[in-house]
Amino acid sequence: MKFVIFFVIIANCWVLSVAETDDVVQKAFNIWLAKYNRKFSDNSSFTTAYDIFSSHYKATSRQRLKFYSGESKFLMKPNKYSAADVNSKASTRGLLLDNDAEFAALVKEEAAVQGRVLPPSYPPPPASLDYRTMGYVSGVKDQGFYCSSCYAFATGCALEGQLAKKYGILPDISAQNIIDCSYNSSYGNFGCGGGNLGSSFKYIVRNPGVANETFYPYAGASQTCGYNPSMYSGTAKGYFYITGSENYLKSALAAIGPLAVGVRGDLDSFLYYGSGIYDDLMCSAIINHAMCLVGYGTDNTTSPPVDYWILKNSWSTDWGENGYMKLQIGSSLCGINTYVVYPTA
């Protein structure tokens, strides 16, 4: 058995060395250019993109070795961000929470405004849960390169789940409506410059209502607010924060429905996540990206079995597992239980 493991590791080391040769990287880059229809106006831009891609491609190869040697539970893969410059990557960090002190003050303020104390416990959750199979989750969206709008998509996802649960019909909430109309001093978001979950729900509650994607389609840019009541798709009566352990979060998710959450999304291992259960211990609670928590499960093919969250992203179906991530439960990875918000329909 030890010989087999040793052989696999040596074989993968050889594959890794081959995968990092210039010829292999160049071929992979050409495939990437064709797949994403990327073109460059000059040689300098082309060279910069190639250098960025090469670095990420080699990191992906090294992660593959960790996966097959049992050091890690996830694989990375090239995606549309594989040659992204710093400005393009900035669009993936659109959740604006400056520091823990401000977040604590925000939670205290909003809890007082809403006048709600969450129950100390929820009923025991089922062993597994996936709201996608229950018709509570709409299709994966793509926020694009130059709009830091993750907060709007996560807000929409959580509200869609509540409306589907209450009325039996799944709406498709307009992220663009939230981007455009919560972009002012009354709510505190910054359009494609980023925003937060509480301000987004506050807009929907006070408006009241939010548009359907069909009537207010995504543009990927900040625009003048164009909402009118004929676009109405649903509303929220209030919104509340959840704080507690991952076990508490699991019970809350099962009792409530899909939840909007803040996570850390700026690590390359996160940005180029491809499949498997994400377990990068470097993913700390530096909250800068919003996602939608839609379920949890257990991988029983490993020893011991590994529990994971199911997270919906807004980076297209090309990212991760068709737009979703499995995040390991147990270490509060990426700050998963730090900033959790949900609306009531």
DSSP conformation letters of 31-75: HHHHHHT---SSHHHHHHHHHHHHHHHHHHHHHHHHHHTTS-SEE
* The dihedral sign for the CA sequence 136, 138, 142, 147: negative
pLDDT at 74: 97
pLDDT at 12: 44
CA atoms within 13 A on the CB side of 337: 18
**227, 207 Cβ separation under 8 angstroms:** yes
Residue spans of the domains in the chain: they are 2-71, 100-344
Q: How far are the Cα atoms of 76, 186, 238, 273, 306 from residue 319, in angstroms, in the given order?
A: 10, 34, 32, 7, 22
Residue 66's CB: how many other CB atoms inside 10 A?
Answer: 15
Closest CA to 293 of 326, 333, 265: 326
Q: Tokens 């925003």 map to which residue?
A: 195
Q: For residue 13, what are its two tokens?
A: 């080391």
**31, 24 Cβ separation under 8 angstroms:** no
Q: Is the peptide bond before 305 cis (omega within 30 degrees of 0)?
A: no
The residues annotated with a catalytic role in the active site are 150, 289, 313
User: What is the C-alpha separation between 54 and 36, in angstroms, rounded?
Assistant: 16
Eight-state DSSP code of residue 321? B
Q: Tokens 């498997």 map to which residue?
A: 276
pLDDT at 106: 58
Closest CA to 95 of 252, 313, 247, 273: 313
pLDDT at 92: 82
Q: For residue 160, what are its two tokens?
A: 């869609």
345 residues of the chain, pLDDT tens digit each: 433 433 344 334 434 444 567 889 999 999 999 998 888 888 888 999 999 999 989 999 999 999 999 999 999 999 988 887 766 677 788 998 753 344 566 566 655 555 454 566 789 999 999 999 999 999 999 999 889 999 999 999 999 999 999 999 999 999 999 999 999 877 889 999 999 998 899 999 999 999 999 999 999 999 999 999 999 999 999 988 888 899 999 999 999 999 999 999 999 999 999 999 999 999 999 999 999 999 999 999 988 999 999 999 999 999 999 999 999 999 999 999 999 999 999
User: What is the C-alpha separation between 299 and 49, in angstroms, rounded?
Assistant: 37
Which architecture characterizes domain 100-344 according to CATH? Alpha-Beta Complex (3.90)
| Backbone φ and ψ of 161, nearest 5° | -60, -40
The answer for residues whose C-beta is within 8 angstroms of residue 342's C-beta and 6 or more apart is 158, 162, 239, 240, 242, 256, 257, 258, 259, 260
The answer for residues whose C-beta is within 8 angstroms of residue 129's C-beta and 6 or more apart is 253, 254, 295, 296, 297
User: What is the C-alpha separation between 320 and 311, in angstroms, rounded?
Assistant: 10
User: What is the C-alpha separation between 265 and 76, in angstroms, rounded?
Assistant: 14
